[in-house]
């Protein structure tokens, strides 16, 4: 075995992943086969291109063009290929077993792109299960559950400039403003077929203009890997290698990514390596026994979710997942993966009662196998694809989520700051009179700001399941709700950390989100909602323009409180700084309905302060309180500083001044 060469399996040099003018040409048939090396490296968990061998691939044998099928099913007594090409007859096409690790294979001449198929697996104890292909590149549109052969007719990438620029970036020191979006419910058009869904191509043409108008840097797409149940929003996956057929085929999805990149918008996908559903055609008990999941139900099942947990101790399962992350990056040029439910993977007792879980060898609740999986995953993916991101949705205080593996970290690029999100939402829901008693909810995040590389999120999870939309979380009458929301977004967009906002919240959607309908675009016919959208766009424009708001995130150098202790007035003032010392920002946020006619704020230095934003401007839906556009610092000590500036502070106002 020592003579085997990894180079035959995966190329990790930078040149291999740098994308020049890349064209996926119509496939020229070459013989596809499973070699001894393929089996060995898959068994070791390091065959990072295994998706080019398992699944369904155009091939040629003895001069005949067809499709080579291969599936890993080590417990099976036999495996038969069934499909529309053989009348779904389980006796028609028996597959050949490769004994080393239990891969089954067959070459079928004459099979065309679009053909539907499954594997009929004879269980070791008798009986049969019909399974979709875990490595299928395409799937039958729900409610159908078959896999489909996909052979590209050719696709040309035009994003070489984007990829080249991406490779040079460290996103910790770049602006990152993410629009979280569910494609099927962002916008729909009334047509009798396809439930009004926009295709990937139609969506691309519409979303680009909107994201540019709103000044987002990235879009995060929910529910792209194939899933059967709309109500899961894509978080219960059955086709990890298949862009969902709801909106088109894999080349249509490539078009979407390419279009976004051409317009300087990055693409992040939600990725779900934590669990998978029990659907009969999916991964659960794949070959008649536990294969992708832990065999012990105390490790292999989520009682609350009714789903299966991947077996991170099994080399082939880790390989399946790590190769899948690479697949999205390499084959679809994805810029980042937001990894769902990380906490559920790290803790053996997550969501479980006593007796429902098994301690590790040290007697505690850490899943040691999942920890090693993350270190391996993040090292490989970020090592191969420079400038991409691995983002952890991790809801606990697990240490070193974004530290390097060699420092005993998990190796993620960023962590969602769930603690900030919960404190922020709890505070904003309060009647302003009671905010003074909860003042430090809004300052607490800065006490641990440097512990991780954080993204501040107001995600879909906060606007479903009776949690209300962001608009209806706000207290007060209608006008006060808008003013509160302007203050909330102003605080978020100027606080330390990258940003994510779920679709519809940028124009103050009033209803909770539902995957069954488009977001409430009709609200933009009302001036208040249209002005809120303009306000968020202006905040994002300011965010992108000023390095002070992103260059030194998650460091003590980039943020300084001016006054974090004004509990009685529910005021917060602070400074955002950058490495040049120029174009710094002084910010104050008023979370009460009281206008402060004689407000004074301490400042770091003498000089001229130029107004950047007044959230009470009438163009944003405010009352039009006048704030000086130029304000000269005076030698009046205030807030512990030698100099200060004075101005009228609007109720629920956000005021931003630039200074050098």
Q: Which residue has the tokens 């067809």?
A: 66
| DSSP 8-state symbol, 432 | H
CA 285/CA 84 separation, integer angstroms: 24
3-state secondary structure 377-428: HHHHHHHHCCCCEEEECCCCCCCCCCCCHHHCCCCCCEEECHHHHHHHHHHH
Tell me if residue 455 falls in helix, strand or coil: strand
CA 523/CA 530 separation, integer angstroms: 8
Catalytic residue among 122, 180, 393, 506: 393
Q: Are 400 and 180 in contact (CB under 8 A)?
A: no
Which residue from 53, 56, 55 is spatially nearest to 42, judged by alpha carbons?
53
Catalytic residue among 133, 311, 340, 461: 340
Which residue from 300, 296, 299 is spatially nearest to 283, judged by alpha carbons?
300
Q: How far apart are the first and last CA of the chain?
A: 63
Tell me if residue 119 falls in helix, strand or coil: strand
CA 34/CA 359 separation, integer angstroms: 38
213 tagged catalytic: no
CA 161/CA 168 separation, integer angstroms: 11
Cis peptide before 143 (omega within 30 of 0): yes
**Per the structure block, which two tokens stand in for 479?**
């006008």
CA 291/CA 509 separation, integer angstroms: 44
Would you state the torsion angle of the CA atoms of residues 547, 550, 554, 557, taken in this order, to the nearest 10 degrees? 20
Q: Which residue has the tokens 């697996």?
A: 121
Contacts 24+ apart (CB under 8 A), 204-212: 204/255, 204/256, 204/259, 204/260, 205/259, 207/181, 207/260, 208/259, 208/260, 208/263, 208/265, 211/179, 211/260, 211/263, 211/265, 212/263, 212/265
335 tagged catalytic: no
Report, as residue numbers or ranges, the catalytic residues: 340, 393
């Amino acid at each position: 075995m020592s003579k085997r060469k990894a180079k035959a399996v995966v190329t990790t040099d930078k040149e291999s992943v740098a994308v020049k003018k890349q064209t996926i040409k119509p496939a020229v048939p070459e013989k596809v086969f499973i070699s001894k090396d393929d089996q060995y490296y898959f068994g070791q968990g390091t065959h990072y291109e295994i998706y080019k061998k398992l699944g369904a691939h155009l091939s040629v044998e003895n001069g005949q063009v067809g499709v080579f099928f291969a599936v890993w099913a080590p417990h099976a007594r036999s495996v038969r290929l069934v499909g529309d090409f053989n009348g779904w007859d389980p006796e028609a096409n028996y597959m050949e077993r490769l004994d080393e690790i239990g891969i089954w294979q067959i070459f079928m001449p004459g099979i065309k792109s679009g053909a539907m198929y499954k594997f009929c697996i004879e269980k070791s104890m008798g009986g049969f299960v019909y399974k979709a292909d875990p490595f299928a590149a395409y799937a039958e549109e729900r409610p159908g559950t078959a896999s489909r052969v996909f052979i590209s007719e050719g696709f040309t990438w035009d994003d070489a400039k984007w990829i080249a620029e991406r490779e040079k970036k460290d996103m910790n020191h770049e602006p990152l403003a993410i629009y979280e979006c569910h494609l099927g419910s962002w916008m729909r058009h009334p047509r009798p077929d396809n439930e009004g869904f926009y295709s990937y191509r139609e969506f691309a043409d519409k979303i680009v203009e909107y994201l540019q108008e709103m000044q987002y840097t990235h879009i995060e797409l929910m529910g792209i890997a194939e899933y059967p149940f709309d109500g899961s929003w894509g978080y219960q996956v059955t086709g990890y290698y298949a862009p969902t057929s709801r909106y088109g085929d894999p080349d249509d999805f490539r078009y979407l990514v390419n279009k976004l990149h051409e317009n300087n918008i990055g693409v992040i996908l939600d990725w779900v390596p934590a669990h998978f559903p029990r659907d009969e055609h999916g991964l659960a008990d794949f070959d008649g026994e536990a294969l992708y999941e832990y065999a012990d139900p105390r490790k292999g099942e989520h009682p609350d979710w009714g789903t299966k947990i991947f077996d991170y101790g099994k080399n082939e399962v880790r390989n399946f997942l790590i190769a899948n992350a690479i697949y999205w990056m390499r084959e679809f040029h994805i810029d980042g993966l937001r990894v769902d439910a990380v906490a559920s993977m790290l803790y053996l007792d997550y969501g479980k009662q006593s007796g429902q879980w098994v301690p590790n060898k040290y007697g505690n609740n850490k899943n040691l196998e999942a920890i090693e999986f993350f270190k391996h995953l993040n090292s490989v993916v970020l090592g191969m694809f420079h400038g991409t991101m691995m983002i952890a949705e991790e809801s606990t205080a697990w240490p070193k989520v974004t530290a390097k593996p060699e420092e005993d970290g998990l190796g993620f690029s960023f962590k969602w700051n769930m603690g900030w999100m919960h404190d922020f939402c709890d505070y904003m829901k309060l009647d302003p009179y009671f905010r003074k008693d909860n003042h430090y909810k809004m300052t607490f995040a800065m006490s641990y700001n440097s512990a991780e590389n954080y993204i501040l999120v107001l995600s879909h999870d906060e606007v479903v399941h009776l949690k209300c939309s962001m608009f209806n979380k706000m207290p007060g009458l209608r006008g006060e709700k808008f003013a509160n929301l302007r203050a909330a977004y102003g605080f978020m967009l100027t606080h330390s950390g990258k940003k994510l906002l779920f679709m519809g919240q940028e124009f103050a959607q009033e209803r909770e989100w539902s995957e069954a309908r488009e977001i409430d675009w009709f609200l933009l016919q009302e001036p208040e909602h249209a002005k809120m959208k303009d306000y968020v766009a202006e905040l994002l424009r300011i965010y992108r323009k000023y390095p002070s708001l992103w260059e030194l995130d998650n460091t003590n150098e980039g943020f300084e409180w001016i006054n974090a202790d004004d509990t009685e007035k529910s005021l917060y003032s602070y400074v955002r700084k950058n490495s040049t010392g120029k174009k710094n920002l002084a910010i104050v946020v008023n979370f009460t309905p009281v206008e402060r006619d004689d407000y004074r704020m301490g400042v770091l230095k003498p000089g001229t302060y130029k107004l950047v934003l007044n959230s009470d401007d009438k163009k944003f839906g405010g009352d039009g309180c006048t704030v000086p556009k130029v304000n000269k610092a005076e030698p009046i000590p205030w807030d512990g500083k030698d100099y200060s500036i004075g101005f009228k502070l609007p109720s629920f106002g956000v005021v931003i001044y630039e200074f050098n």
